[in-house]
Structures are given as C-alpha cells and as structure tokens.
Amino acid sequence: MRFFLTIIFIIIATPSFAVTFNGSFVQGSFILGKTDPGSKIFIDKKKIRVSKDGFFAFGLGRDRKNDVIIKINEKKIVKKVFKREYNIQRIDGLEEKKVTPPEEVYERIKRENKWIGEARAINTDLVFFKNKFINPLENAIVTGVYGSQRILNGKPKWPHYGIDFAAEEGTEIKAMLDGVVTLVEPDLFYTGGTLIFDHGHGISTLYMHMEKILVKKGQKVKQGDIIGTVGSTGRSTGAHLDVRLNWFNVRLDPATVLDIKN
Ligand SMILES: [Zn+2]
C-alpha cells in the first residue's frame, strides 16, 4: 500500500512544469518569463502569448499595488509587487497658460493619443522582446527618470514615463532592439518626431522629440541600426531623447532593460 501511495504522490507532485522570471517584481519592471513550450498563461486573468520556445513577457505599472497573479496551465503563482518612491516636484505660482495646453489643441492631442494607443495595443507573435536591449545613444547621460511627477499650481501633471537622455541635436539614435516600425510621426503636439516599434507580445518602445526619422512604417529594423537623430521637436525644452517601454497600455521603466545608472 505504501508503495502504491508513493507512486501516486510522484505522479501528482511532478507534472512537467518549470518557470523562470527574468526581472524583479517592482513597480515599473519589465519581466521576461520562460516556461514549457505549449503552456497557457494568464497574468491577472489576461491570457498572454507564449512563444514556440516558451518565452512570454509582461510588466508592472508605475503605481501597481496588487500582487500579480500568474496562472500557468493549472498552477497559480502569486508575486508581491514592491513599491518605489518617485520624485515629486511642486511648483506654484505659474501662469495658467503654462500649466494647461490651449483649448484649440485639445482635439489634436486626443487624435494623436489615439494613434499612439493603437500602436501600443498591437499584439503580434514576434519574439524580439526576449533579446537584450542596448542603449539608444553612444553616451547615455540620463537627465530624466521614470515615474517622476510635477504638481503645477496644485494640479498633478501626467507622470514622466520615460528616460531622458541628454544629447546634442543631430546625434544618431540606435534601435534598442530588433523590431517592426508601427508608427512614424514627424510632428506630434507633445512628443514631436515620434517612432514606435513593436517587439512582439505587446512589448513596444517609443522614441520622442526626434529631429530626423530614417525609417518607415512597416519596416523591420535591426538592433543598433540608426533610426534617426536627436531633436527638440514637440513640447521640449531642449535637445534630448526620451525613450519609453510599454507592455500594451502599461507604461514600464526603460531603466529596467537598459544598461544605465540612475
Ligand atoms: Zn522626457
């Protein structure tokens, strides 16, 4: 009888199951997972893609508080999300027109946000996201970080979801990862010359305030290719590059995939 139970125990306790997570469960993190090919995965009840070789990706938002519920086949994994502290800056006594955009551009902003939203919603089976990112500039001097927020005249502004790099106008920008160009816009209201790349499974990157754009929509770009140059287009106070990383509509911290010091 004992022998019999032991056999049953082994069968139940060792389903062929393995998972690894590359990335920390901290607000803003990009997380690359690997499991058995053919697995079914849900993140917080959202079914996500798994590549033929078992890779999957997801991320944690800036203000995420709840635990992450990961279901792989029938197994449930619960991960606690660690909080971060963000830099909050209050500036009062500003002229009102510096705080809110003029009403005549509202429609334009709405339209442009829709284009960006559509590019971020793209869900393909590309698997470029599983490779290591490289810095977009040769000298990556960080001047703005993810998560920081300004409160102007008591109004909380949209948090900063990117990494700003200081660079001179015209500095060449490299693609951080292989990808397919999904949006090319030379002059958006806020972000100026803007590029979006799809890296598969809902992972996208953005490049903003660009001067020249050297790629076309639908083009497959290799990591390290020159995609354009640094500018000061859109709402920008000087030449710099702002890059962003998303998992669908969740804005992630590019510092979690780049080789930079904060
Ligand atoms: Zn920025």
> Ligand 1 centre from 105 Cα, in Å?
20
CA atoms within 13 A on the CB side of 66: 6
Question: Contact at 8 Å (CB) between 23 and 30?
Answer: yes
DSSP state for residue 67 in the 8-state scheme: P
Report the separation in Å between the CA atom of 206 and the middle of ligand 1, taken as the mean of its atom positions: 11
Residue 1 pLDDT: 52
Distance from Cα 255 to the centre of ligand 1, integer Å: 13
- Tens of pLDDT along the chain (262 residues) come to 555 555 554 445 445 579 999 999 999 999 999 999 999 999 999 999 999 999 999 999 999 999 999 999 989 999 999 999 999 988 888 887 767 788 889 999 999 999 999 999 999 999 999 999 999 999 879 999 999 999 988 889 889 999 999 999 999 999 999 999 999 999 999 999 999 999 999 999 999 999 999 999 999 999 999 999 999 999 888 999 999 999 999 999 999 999 887 5
Alpha carbon distance 211, 195 (integer Å): 11
Cα 55 to averaged position of ligand 1 atoms, centre (Å): 30
**Ligand 1 centroid distance, CA of 251 (Å):** 13
Quote the pLDDT of residue 247. Answer: 98
From the number of C-beta atoms within 10 Å of its C-beta (0-12, 13-18, 19+), residue 42 rates as middle
pLDDT value at residue 72: 96
In the DSSP assignment, the letter for residue 132 is P
d(CA 144, ligand 1 centre) in Å = 6
pLDDT at 139: 87
- Give the total residue count for the chain: 262
In angstroms, what is the span from residue 164 Cα to ligand 1's centroid?
5
Bridge partners, 78 (sequence order): 69
99: left (phi over 0), alpha (psi -120 to 50) or beta: alpha
- DSSP of 75-100: EEEEE--B-----EEEE-S--HHHHS
Q: What pLDDT does 236 receive?
A: 87
Under 8 Å between Cβ of 247 and 32: no
Kindly give the distance from the C-alpha atom of residue 163 to the centroid of ligand 1, in angstroms, as a whole number: 6
pLDDT of residue 102: 84
Q: Report the separation in Å between the CA atom of 242 and the middle of ligand 1, taken as the mean of its atom positions.
A: 5
Rama region for 34: left / alpha / beta (φ>0; ψ in -120 to 50; rest): beta
Ion ligand 1, residue ranges at CB < 5 A: 144, 162, 164, 242
| Alpha-carbon span 123 to 237, nearest angstrom | 34
Question: What's this model's pTM, rounded to 2 decimal places?
Answer: 0.91
Distance (Å) from CA 157 to ligand 1 centroid? 13
Output the CA–CA distances (angstroms, integers) from residue 120 to 133, 182, 197, 202, 207, in the order listed: 18, 9, 9, 7, 13
Cα separation, 197 vs 170, in Å, equals 21
Q: How far is the CA of 158 from the centre of ligand 1 (A)?
A: 11
* Structure tokens given for 260: 């930079």
Of 145, 141, 143, 156, give the one whose Cα is nearest residue 89.
Answer: 156
Q: Is residue 191 classed as helix, strand or coil in its secondary structure?
A: coil
State the distance from the centre of ligand 1 to the C-alpha of 72, rounded, in angstroms.
36
Q: How far is the CA of 123 from the centre of ligand 1 (A)?
A: 26
Whole-number Å distance, alpha carbon 26 to ligand 1 midpoint, is 21
| Cα-to-centroid distance, 65 and ligand 1 (Å) | 24
CA of 236 to the centre of ligand 1 (A): 8
Rounded-to-integer distance, Cα 214 and Cα 186, Å: 11
